[in-house]
């Protein structure tokens, strides 16, 4: 980390001007299926695809190849082995329990490959080239199958216009100056339609219909940002004219289209008033196949910086559930991401107030990457998200039996606090096969939380999950979680600081710090400040795993000569009162490292 390179200099300065922070700061009963057989490249695309009876998974290995996992657990590898490759992008579709896959190889030129109808067993078909220099495909890919026809939609760089200013442009982070391309394949790719440049844009979105495929774009019409669409007629096999839906603002990365009970929806995050803090989740819907549109917005979420993904669940009867995550960080720098559930019982004509599934006392930590799905029985729905209430990431789940009107208490799918399990907004995350939920997650290698070791599949019914959680809760609570033991740990830590016992103080630091910083590096920065006494003024146990501790210490800088300037820094004995954080992890309390000079913690909750 960059700050470590200048840490010693900063510690000297911090000691001199007294700005420094005074100190430095269960086994799961339910094992998921590990999906990847090869080392995982989590920075590349990965996802699952569900058939009526089959589960498929695909990911990129650290060797750059694309691996597809069949329902029986066997893997197939794709990508040339006799030349340099740069595979990326991933889209999958399942029909008749056969898998079709679309991906890109950037080398030697941007080329799209299509794997048609991979069966559960037997030899794999050969990939077919479906796009090349005529589109220069990027990684935003979509694929869908209906009967014998496969449809493709992708973002391409070919023909990109020079960036320009638009009349209603506010502050541009992205411009709709790329192009959306489309084609179809029949007979397992033996018959390919011509590639068509559909519309300029940046985010491909579509609705797969039996007669028409509307393709949506955030684009520019007559020099002004707008939402627009073109419809592909399946019978005539032609596109209609470009139709302007509505004027558009700058938008964030969410741009999703879906259909519910015959009504078409397009939803996005608008950025208004030329600022990065006036956000609005909004959209349009049409009841007449795109001839007229009604615009709507979720005003209670205005100002929420929504990121990651929009998850959509519909039942075809007019019940719609949307899940997003966001924060008000532009209004409050300490605001954490939280999950919001939006519900309509009248096919989007009106919406209930946003629902936050987490209790208020858990919102001091972040929650992100939500996904929602309709359950196997009428009225059932499941909401999942990545939750940091246990200091380490876990996956939490809440269930509804009345189309999202009410929700159960949230429960974890993994043993909370002892594992590092997260989600990825780029994946489907949650689905249903038969009466069982299929949940896709990832396991981090260590507390650095940078390397993903495994892709995981949890399969369960809601009743099974509740029973497993009951067994976890039945485990005896650790006696070390008490305030009495916390006070013992505080005393142990601060007495070691006074006695210059740095091996002890290092062992008392939180595991995230110890994963990132070796004892040698820690020891090299200690000793500038001499601690003489301490007194615990207050212990506030905010949560069973988090406490705020107010401490008064006496400390001095007896004299330290800078190796770079030769200047000697000193400070007389002085008292200071401050509040520090203690975390309960792995059966004990640990001092949370906080670098006040850089306003930095290694923990990420």
Residue 397 lies in a domain: yes
Do 569 and 588 belong together in one domain? Answer: yes
Distance from C-alpha of 304 to C-alpha of 277, rounded to nearest angstrom: 8
Do 552 and 447 belong together in one domain? Answer: no
Encoding tokens for residue 450?
A: 């940078």
Q: 320-332 pLDDT, tens per residue?
A: 999 999 998 877 8
Q: 389-417 pLDDT, tens per residue?
A: 999 999 999 999 999 999 999 999 998 88
Final residue belonging to a domain, choices 425, 444, 474: 474
CA distances from 558 to 179, 524, 528, 570 (A): 66, 17, 8, 5
Do 380 and 440 belong together in one domain? Answer: yes
Q: 6-54 pLDDT, tens per residue?
A: 344 444 334 433 323 333 223 334 689 999 999 988 788 999 999 999 9
Residue 536 lies in a domain: yes
Encoding tokens for residue 361?
A: 């006392």
Residue 157 has pLDDT above 50, yes or no: yes
Strand ranges for 111-148 from DSSP E: 111-118, 128-131, 137-146
Do 6 and 71 belong together in one domain? Answer: no
DSSP secondary structure letter of residue 82: S
Distance from C-alpha of 199 to C-alpha of 158, rounded to nearest angstrom: 12
Encoding tokens for residue 401?
A: 């039996």
Split into its structural domains, the chain has a count of 3
CB atoms within 10 A of CB 3: 11
What is the 3-state composition of the chain as percent helix, strand, coil, each rounded to the nearest 5? 10, 45, 40
Final residue belonging to a domain, choices 417, 446, 474: 474
Residue 326 lies in a domain: yes
What residues are paired with 440 via a beta bridge? 457
Do 369 and 460 belong together in one domain? Answer: yes
Q: Specify the higher pLDDT residue, 20 or 75.
A: 75
Q: Which of 259, 35, 44 is nearest to 144 (CA)?
A: 259
Residue 128 has pLDDT above 50, yes or no: yes
- Answer yes or no: are the C-beta atoms of 516 and 1 closer than 8 Å: yes
Range of the domain at 73: 48-133
- Say what the pTM is: 0.89
Distance from C-alpha of 115 to C-alpha of 101, rounded to nearest angstrom: 5
Q: Specify the higher pLDDT residue, 571 or 384.
A: 384
Encoding tokens for residue 595?
A: 């670098």
Here the contacts of 83-88 (C-beta below 8 Å, separation 24 or greater) are 83/107, 83/108, 87/44, 87/60, 88/44, 88/45, 88/60, 88/139
Q: Indicate the average pLDDT of the chain.
A: 90
Encoding tokens for residue 384?
A: 């999942």
Do 455 and 399 belong together in one domain? Answer: yes
Residue 302 has pLDDT above 50, yes or no: yes
Q: Which of 604, 450, 512 is nearest to 40 (CA)?
A: 450
Encoding tokens for residue 187?
A: 């007979």
Among the ranges given (25-34, 221-230, 450-459), the one the predictor scored with the smallest mean pLDDT: 25-34
Distance from C-alpha of 111 to C-alpha of 131, rounded to nearest angstrom: 6
Distance from C-alpha of 363 to C-alpha of 167, rounded to nearest angstrom: 40
Q: 165-183 pLDDT, tens per residue?
A: 555 555 545 678 899 999 9
Distance of CA 487 to the CA centre of its chain: 37
Final residue belonging to a domain, choices 429, 444, 474: 474
Q: Specify the higher pLDDT residue, 31 or 292.
A: 292
Residue 327 lies in a domain: yes
At residue 178, φ and ψ (nearest 5 deg) are -95, -165
Residue 205 lies in a domain: no
- Answer yes or no: are the C-beta atoms of 90 and 102 closer than 8 Å: yes
What is the torsion angle, in degrees rounded to the nearest 10, for the CA atoms of residue 416, residue 601, residue 487 and residue 387?
-20
Residue 459 lies in a domain: yes
Do 438 and 554 belong together in one domain? Answer: no
Do 468 and 499 belong together in one domain? Answer: no
Residue 177 lies in a domain: no
Q: What share of the chain in percent tops pLDDT 70?
A: 91
Task: Give the model's pLDDT for residue 17.
Answer: 33
DSSP secondary structure letter of residue 359: -
Q: 82-118 pLDDT, tens per residue?
A: 999 999 999 999 999 999 999 999 999 999 999 999 9
Residue 176 lies in a domain: no
Beta-carbon-side half-sphere exposure of residue 246 (alpha carbons within 13 Å): 18
Q: 257-281 pLDDT, tens per residue?
A: 999 999 999 999 999 987 667 899 9
CA distances from 171 to 147, 327, 494 (A): 44, 20, 50
- C-alpha angle 359/363/369, rounded to 5°? 100
CB atoms within 10 A of CB 274: 11
Q: Which of 82, 167, 74 is nearest to 121 (CA)?
A: 74
Q: 542-596 pLDDT, tens per residue?
A: 999 999 999 999 999 988 777 778 788 888 999 999 999 999 999 999 999 999 8
**What CATH number is associated with residue 594?**
3.10.450.100
Do 525 and 389 belong together in one domain? Answer: no
- Burial letters 9-33, b for 16+ CB under 10 A, else e: ebbbebbbeeebbbbbbeebebebe
Do 325 and 415 belong together in one domain? Answer: yes
Mean pLDDT throughout 352-359?
97
Burial of 420 (0-12, 13-18, 19+ CB in 10 A): buried
Residue 472 has pLDDT above 80, yes or no: no
**What CATH number is associated with residue 336?**
2.120.10.10
Residues whose CB falls within 8 Å of the CB of residue 376, separated by 6 or more in sequence, listed in order:
432, 434, 435, 436
Do 17 and 54 belong together in one domain? Answer: no
Q: What share of the chain in percent tops pLDDT 90?
A: 78
Helices first, then strands: H and E counts in the chain: 7, 40
User: Is the CA virtual torsion 511, 512, 513, 519 positive or negative?
Assistant: positive
Write out the H or E segment, with its range, that includes residue 512: helix 511-516
Do 487 and 364 belong together in one domain? Answer: no
CB atoms within 10 A of CB 131: 24
């Amino acid at each position: 980390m960059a700050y470590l390179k200048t840490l010693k200099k900063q510690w000297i300065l911090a000691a001199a001007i007294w700005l420094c922070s005074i100190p430095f700061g269960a086994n799961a009963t339910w094992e998921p299926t590990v999906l990847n057989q090869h080392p995982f490249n989590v920075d590349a695309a990965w996802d699952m695809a569900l058939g009526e009876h089959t589960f498929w998974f695909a990911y990129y290995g650290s060797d750059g190849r694309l691996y597809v996992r069949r329902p029986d657990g066997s893997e197939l590898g794709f990508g040339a082995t006799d030349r340099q490759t740069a595979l990326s992008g991933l889209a999958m579709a399942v029909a008749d329990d056969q898998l079709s896959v679309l991906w890109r190889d950037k080398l030697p030129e941007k080329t799209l490959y299509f794997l048609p109808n991979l069966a559960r067993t037997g030899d794999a078909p050969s990939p077919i080239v479906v796009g090349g220099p005529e589109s220069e495909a990027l990684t935003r890919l979509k694929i869908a199958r209906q009967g014998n026809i496969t449809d493709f939609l992708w973002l391409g760089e070919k023909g990109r216009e020079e960036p320009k200013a638009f009349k209603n442009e506010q502050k541009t982070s992205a411009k709709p100056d790329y192009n959306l391309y489309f084609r179809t394949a029949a007979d397992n790719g033996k018959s390919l339609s011509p590639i068509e440049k559909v519309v300029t844009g940046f985010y491909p979105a579509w609705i797969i219909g039996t007669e028409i495929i509307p393709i949506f774009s955030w684009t520019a019409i007559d020099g002004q940002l707008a939402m627009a669409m073109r419809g592909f007629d399946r019978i005539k096999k032609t596109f209609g004219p470009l139709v302007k839906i509505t004027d558009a603002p700058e938008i964030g990365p969410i741009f999703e289209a879906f259909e519910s009970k015959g009504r078409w929806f397009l939803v996005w995050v608008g950025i208004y008033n030329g600022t990065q803090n006036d956000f609005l989740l909004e959209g349009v819907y049409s009841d007449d196949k795109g001839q007229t549109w009604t615009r709507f917005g979720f005003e209670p979420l205005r100002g929420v910086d929504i990121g990651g993904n929009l998850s959509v669940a519909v039942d075809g009867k007019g019940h719609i559930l949307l899940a997003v995550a966001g924060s008000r960080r532009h209004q409050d720098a300490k605001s954490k991401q939280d999950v919001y559930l939006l519900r309509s019982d009248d096919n989007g004509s009106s919406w209930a107030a946003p629902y936050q599934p987490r209790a208020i006392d858990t919102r001091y930590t972040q929650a992100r990457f939500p996904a929602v799905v309709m359950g196997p029985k009428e009225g059932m729905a499941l909401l999942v998200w990545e939750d940091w209430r246990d200091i380490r990431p876990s996956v939490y789940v809440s269930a509804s039996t009345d189309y999202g009107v009410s929700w159960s208490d949230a429960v974890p799918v993994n043993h909370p606090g002892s594992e590092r399990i997260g989600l990825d907004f780029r994946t489907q995350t949650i689905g249903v096969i038969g009466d069982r939920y299929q949940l896709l997650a990832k396991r981090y290698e260590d507390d650095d939380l940078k390397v993903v070791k495994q892709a995981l599949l949890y399969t369960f019914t809601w009743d099974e999950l509740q029973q497993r959680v009951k067994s976890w809760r039945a485990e005896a609570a650790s006696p070390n979680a008490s305030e009495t033991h916390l006070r013992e740990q505080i005393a142990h830590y601060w007495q070691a600081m006074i006695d210059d016992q740095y091996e002890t103080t290092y062992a008392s630091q939180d595991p995230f710090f110890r994963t990132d910083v070796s004892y040698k590096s820690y020891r090299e920065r200690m000793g500038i400040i001499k601690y003489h006494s301490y007194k615990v003024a207050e212990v506030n146990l905010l949560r069973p795993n988090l406490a705020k501790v107010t401490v008064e210490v006496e400390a001095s800088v007896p004299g330290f000569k800078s190796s770079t300037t030769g200047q000697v820094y000193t400070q007389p004995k002085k008292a200071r009162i401050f509040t520090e954080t203690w975390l309960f992890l792995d059966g004990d309390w640990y001092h949370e490292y906080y670098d006040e000079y850089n306003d930095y913690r290694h923990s990420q909750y």
